């Protein structure tokens, strides 16, 4: 999978971020290739979220350079990151409870049909496409049901379905398998494989070691704002990763 | 890890909600509509005058006088905001419209010569282009509403001030400006186009009051916008989860500004219509109407926490308020009871909805 000749989808060089006197990130370099699944691990406060937010355009880095598909990019807002093809599935899922599943999937990029001067929502097409996406996710979710009435797994499916709409080249998932049922975890991991097959690069931010080892090609461990390890998954073990996360082992 | 992803999904675990637990049947609007129907039947038996043509016209006209503004405020409420400046806005727009009309219709004035001339008898003022003065004065009235709405929207969306405080300030600013421009005296529509103005604001077509016709057209337009346009979707999303709306790339600032502009324009139009019915725009016109308007929206099912509301609810709320007022008059109950009863109904309507949502 890791082809040395391929252009990385995402390439970070020397990324650093300070919040006042607090150094949240220091000189992080990383590359993600198309179709690669990278696990980003680390304890709370290790800098994972800050790194994700920089890639997603929520924060601007204090230092360093971001290159996307070979071009230097500067994101001022999350919309800018989405425009080049970076999608994020947030841990709190960012869903509007009062809208239906289909409406949430298409939020901000509704399908419309023109009636003379008016562009009206194409409810049918959106519901059909949403049902298709839920089908791929094996999620028993009706496009017309309100998100308010849904289970945690269904909500997760809605949030993930949203990233499938656009032709995202990099999908970052923040704890996608936390707080959902065992069966749903299998489904989410299945989806990750599906995305990978289509050449989408994935970054999985997770605390769940089994999930990371089940789907990731490579694992990156963060500790105290620095990248401490970046290893192919078959060259490491859950024990080593745990040691790196806790600091029992400084670097690998 | 490969999965058979192409087979159609089944819904073995997830039941479909019953028709009576969905849509309008499960909304506060539905319950209030039912209560309204019951009230109408009671009124029919309580007073033989209630369902007469004259009284129905009266009711239709009276609730139309706050319902257009209620449509506008409902937009703001759905986004989780509020607009307290609608009462003052009604007055100011009406005042500007009638002042512009009077000014343009005065033969000696600088602008007047372009629009009017004296008839041969030297007394009667004639319009050079019939209807043009009316059009310009109404646009002037709506123009000031547009500016006030833009200021509201800018303060709320760009500067991040709370909608309550911003529009409370605007309430006072606009009311004060009304007193300033009229010197506290108010103004009257005048000139050759005044008759058109009265016909278009307080006349009727085949027995149907004109304001009611405007209301129906605007309510239908609002229903289409809210439920069948991207903008409407974004308005609901903003009220449901503003952070999510922002993350999904909805232009939050623009949508908010547009909502407060719509709200101010609705109030301005409402004020101009009321001034046609009153025959003037006094400086204290529509004082505290914002409370009636918000009460009507809330009774009709708009949720002040945001995310829920619609044109039907706005109208149902206004009708209910008007029927109660009208009913108390017909039943010869002291009109002072009206306000007390309105307060009780606001609390009851919200309470019933709360009890219902706990039961499910």
CB atoms within 10 A of CB B317: 33
Tell me the residues of A at the B interface, defined by beta carbons under 8 Å apart: 78-79, 82, 88, 90, 93-99, 103, 107-110, 112, 118-121, 123, 134-136, 138-142, 145, 149, 154, 162, 187, 189-190, 193-194, 214-215
A151: helix, strand or coil: coil
Distance (Å, whole) CA B261 – CA B239? 17
Whether A208 contacts A177, CB under 8 Å: yes
Contacts of B307 in chain A (CB under 8 A): 96-98
What pLDDT band is residue B5 in, cutting at 50, 70 and 90? very low
Average of per-residue pLDDT values in chain A:
84
B248 Cα to chain A: minimum distance (Å): 6
Tell me what pLDDT residue A191 has: 75
What percent of chain A shows pLDDT beyond 70? 96
Tell me the residues of B at the A interface, defined by beta carbons under 8 Å apart: 1-3, 5, 8-14, 16-17, 224, 227-230, 233-234, 236-237, 239-241, 243-250, 307-308
Whether B53 contacts B207, CB under 8 Å: yes
What pLDDT band is residue A189 in, cutting at 50, 70 and 90? confident
Tell me what pLDDT residue B236 has: 94
Distance (Å, whole) CA B90 – CA B272? 7
Average of per-residue pLDDT values in chain B:
85
What pLDDT band is residue A48 in, cutting at 50, 70 and 90? confident
* pLDDT at position A167 over 80: no
What pLDDT band is residue B226 in, cutting at 50, 70 and 90? very high
Residues B108-124 have pLDDT tens digits of 777 777 777 776 676 66
Distance (Å, whole) CA A75 – CA A80? 5
Distance (Å, whole) CA A23 – CA A16? 8
Pairing of strands A86-89, A170-174: parallel
Distance (Å, whole) CA B240 – CA B248? 13
Residue B101 tokens read as 């009309």
The Cα angle at residue A14 between residues A9 and A17, in degrees rounded to 5: 105
Residue B259 tokens read as 């909502």
What pLDDT band is residue A8 in, cutting at 50, 70 and 90? confident
What percent of chain B shows pLDDT beyond 90? 40
Residue B104 tokens read as 């343009």
* pLDDT at position B16 over 70: no
A249 Cα to chain B: minimum distance (Å): 32
Tell me what pLDDT residue B238 has: 93
Look-up of token digits 């400086």: B283
Residues B329-342 have pLDDT tens digits of 888 888 788 778 88
User: Searching chain A, which residue's CA lies closest to the CA of residue B78?
Assistant: A98
Residue B160 tokens read as 């991040």
Tell me what pLDDT residue B237 has: 93
Residue A31 tokens read as 């590359």
Tell me what pLDDT residue B25 has: 65
Contacts of B8 in chain A (CB under 8 A): 135
* pLDDT at position B85 over 50: yes
* pLDDT at position A156 over 50: yes
B9/A103 touch (CB, cutoff 8 Å), yes or no: no
* pLDDT at position B288 over 60: yes
Distance (Å, whole) CA B93 – CA B170? 14
Tell me what pLDDT residue A53 has: 87
A96/B229 touch (CB, cutoff 8 Å), yes or no: no
Tell me what pLDDT residue B22 has: 62
> Which of B102-116, B141-155, B173-187, B324-338 is the least confident region?
B102-116
Q: What is the mean pLDDT of residues B315-338?
A: 85
Distance (Å, whole) CA A160 – CA A163? 5
B237/A118 touch (CB, cutoff 8 Å), yes or no: no
Tell me what pLDDT residue A182 has: 78
B2/A193 touch (CB, cutoff 8 Å), yes or no: yes
Q: Which of B1, B221, B251 to mutate to test the interface with A (most CBs of A within 10 A)?
A: B1
3-state helix, strand, coil in chain A (%, to 5): 35, 30, 35
pTM of the predicted protein model: 0.85
* pLDDT at position B3 over 60: no
What pLDDT band is residue B105 in, cutting at 50, 70 and 90? confident
* pLDDT at position A161 over 80: yes
Q: What does the H/E/C string look like for chain B? A: CCCCCCCCCCCCCCCCCCHHHCHHHHCHHHHHHHHHHHHHHHHHHHCCCCCCHHHHHHHHHHHHHHHHHHHHHHHHHHCCCCCCCHHHHHHHHHHHHHHHHHHHCCCCCCCHHHHEEECCCCCCEEECCCCHHHHHHHHHHHHHHHHHHHHHHHHHHHCCCCHHHHHHHHHHHHHHHHHHHHCCCCECCCCCCHHHHHHHHHCEECCEEHHHHHHHHHHHHHHHHHHHCHHHHHHHHHHHCHHHHHHCCCCHHHHHHHHHHHHHHHHHHHHHHHHHHHCCECCCCCCCHHHHHHHHHHHCCCCCCCCCCCHHHHHHHHHHHHHHHHHHHHCCCCCCHHHHHHHHHHHHHHHHHHHHHHHC
Distance (Å, whole) CA B272 – CA B278? 10
Inter-CA distances, B151 with B143, B159, B181, B261, Å: 13, 11, 19, 9
Nearest to A52 by CA among A79, A80, A85, A86: A86
* pLDDT at position A43 over 50: yes
Which among A121, A141, A149 is the nearest to B233, CB-wise? A121
Nearest to B317 by CA among B340, B290, B345: B345
Please provide residue A180's backbone torsions phi and psi, each rounded to the nearest 5 degrees.
-130, 165
A95 Cα to chain B: minimum distance (Å): 6
Residues B245-259 have pLDDT tens digits of 888 888 899 999 999
What pLDDT band is residue B97 in, cutting at 50, 70 and 90? very high
Element (H, E) at A29: strand A22-32
> Which of A88-92, B72-76, B101-105 is the least confident region?
A88-92
* pLDDT at position B4 over 60: no
ipTM for the predicted complex comes to 0.80
A94/B9 touch (CB, cutoff 8 Å), yes or no: no
């Amino acid at each position: 999978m890791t082809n040395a000749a391929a252009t990385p989808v995402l390439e970070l060089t020397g990324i650093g971020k300070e919040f006042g006197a607090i150094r949240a990130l220091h000189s992080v370099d990383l590359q993600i290739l198309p179709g690669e699944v990278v696990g980003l691990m680390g304890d709370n406060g290790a800098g994972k979220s800050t790194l994700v937010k920089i890639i997603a355009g929520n924060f601007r880095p204090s230092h360093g350079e971001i290159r996307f598909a070979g071009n230097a990019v500067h994101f001022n807002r999350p919309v800018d990151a989405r425009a080049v093809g970076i999608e994020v599935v947030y841990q709190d899922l960012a869903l509007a409870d009062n809208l239906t599943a289909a409406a949430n999937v298409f939020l901000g990029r509704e399908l419309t049909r023109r009636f003379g001067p008016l562009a009206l929502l194409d409810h049918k097409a959106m519901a059909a496409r949403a049902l298709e996406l839920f089908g791929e996710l094996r999620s028993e979710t009706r496009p017309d049901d309100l998100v308010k009435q849904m289970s945690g797994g269904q909500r997760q499916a809605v949030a993930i379905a949203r990233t499938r709409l656009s032709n995202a080249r990099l999908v970052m998932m923040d704890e996608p398998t936390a707080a959902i049922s065992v069966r749903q975890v299998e489904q989410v991991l299945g989806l990750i494989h599906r995305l990978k097959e289509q050449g989408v690069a994935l970054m999985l931010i997770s605390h769940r070691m089994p999930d990371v080892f089940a789907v990731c090609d490579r694992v990156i461990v963060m500790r105290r704002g620095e990248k401490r390890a970046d290893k192919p998954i078959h060259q490491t073990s859950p024990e080593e990763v745990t040691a790196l996360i806790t600091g029992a082992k400084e670097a690998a | 890890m490969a999965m058979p992803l192409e087979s159609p999904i089944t819904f073995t675990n997830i039941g479909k909600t019953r028709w009576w637990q969905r849509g309008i049947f499960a909304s506060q609007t539905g319950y209030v509509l039912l209560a309204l129907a019951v009230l109408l039947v009671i009124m029919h038996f309580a007073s033989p005058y209630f369902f007469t043509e004259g009284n129905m016209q009266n009711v239709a006209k009276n609730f139309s006088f706050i319902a257009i503004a209620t449509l506008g405020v409902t937009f703001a409420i759905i986004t989780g905001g509020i607009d307290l400046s609608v009462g003052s806005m009604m007055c100011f727009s009406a005042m500007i419209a009638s002042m512009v009309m009077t000014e343009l219709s005065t033969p000696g004035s600088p602008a007047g010569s372009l629009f009017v001339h004296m008839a041969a008898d030297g007394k009667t003022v004639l319009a050079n282009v019939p209807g043009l003065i009316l059009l310009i004065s109404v646009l002037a009235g709506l123009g000031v509403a547009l500016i006030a709405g833009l200021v509201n929207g800018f303060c709320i969306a760009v500067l991040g001030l709370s909608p309550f405080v911003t529009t409370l300030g605007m309430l006072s600013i606009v009311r004060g400006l009304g007193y300033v421009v009229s010197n506290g005296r108010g103004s009257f529509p005048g000139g050759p186009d005044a008759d058109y103005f009265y016909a278009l604001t307080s006349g009727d077509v085949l027995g149907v009051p004109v304001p009611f016709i405007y209301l129906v057209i605007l309510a239908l337009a609002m229903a289409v916008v809210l439920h069948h346009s991207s903008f409407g979707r974004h308005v609901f999303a903003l009220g449901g989860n503003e952070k999510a709306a922002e993350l999904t790339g909805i232009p939050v600032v623009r949508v908010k500004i547009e909502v407060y502009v719509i709200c101010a324009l609705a109030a301005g139009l409402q004020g101009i219509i009321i001034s046609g019915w009153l025959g003037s725009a006094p400086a204290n016109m529509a004082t505290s109407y914002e409370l009636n308007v918000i009460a009507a929206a809330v009774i009709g099912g708009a949720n002040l926490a945001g995310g829920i509301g619609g044109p039907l609810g706005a109208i149902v709320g206004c009708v209910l308020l008007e029927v109660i007022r009208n009913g108390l008059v017909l039943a010869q109950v002291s009109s002072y009871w009206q306000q007390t009863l309105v307060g009780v109904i606001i609390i009851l309507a919200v309470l019933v909805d709360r009890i219902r949502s706990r039961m499910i």
